[in-house]
Amino acid sequence: MKRKAVGVVGIIILIVSFQQVAKEDKVGYEDCILEHVSGTEDALAANLMTYACHRLYIDNFMLSEKDQAYFQCLLDYMPDAKKPEITLQIKRVCNDKHRSLFW
């Protein structure tokens, strides 16, 4: 019985500590959307940048430095994309540059 209690307490502590590590920044997320997404003309680019803002400012638990750089690359270069083909090319280049095993 004591083992079960210790296990439950351990799980609760683990859950609480995970919540402490993830830093949700709703103001940063909203600013990110306004800065990067509001002016785009391509729906695909808007969706990818919205997801990038979400990952950087809301769902950032265990986000690696490579992933942070990838999402920032999307935000830096996608706002001016006007066609899905350009958006996909930017996505590929950012992925190759920041997530590739060979860089």
User: What does the block give as tokens for 96?
Assistant: 């190759």
pTM, rounded to two decimals: 0.75
Domain layout of the chain by residue ranges? 24-99
Residues 6+ apart with CB under 8 A from 78: 36, 40, 45, 48, 49, 87, 90, 91
Mean of per-residue pLDDT scores for the chain? 85
Within 10 angstroms of residue 62's Cβ, the number of other Cβ atoms is: 9
**Higher-confidence position of 42 and 3:** 42
Between 6 and 81, name the one with better pLDDT: 81
Q: How many CA atoms lie within 13 A of 92 on its CB side?
A: 6
Convert the pLDDT of each residue in 53-81 to its tens digit.
999 999 999 999 999 999 999 999 999 99
Q: How far is CA 50 from CA 9, 28, 58, 79, in A?
A: 37, 12, 11, 11
Cα separation, 53 vs 27, whole angstroms: 11
User: How high is the pLDDT of residue 66?
Assistant: 95
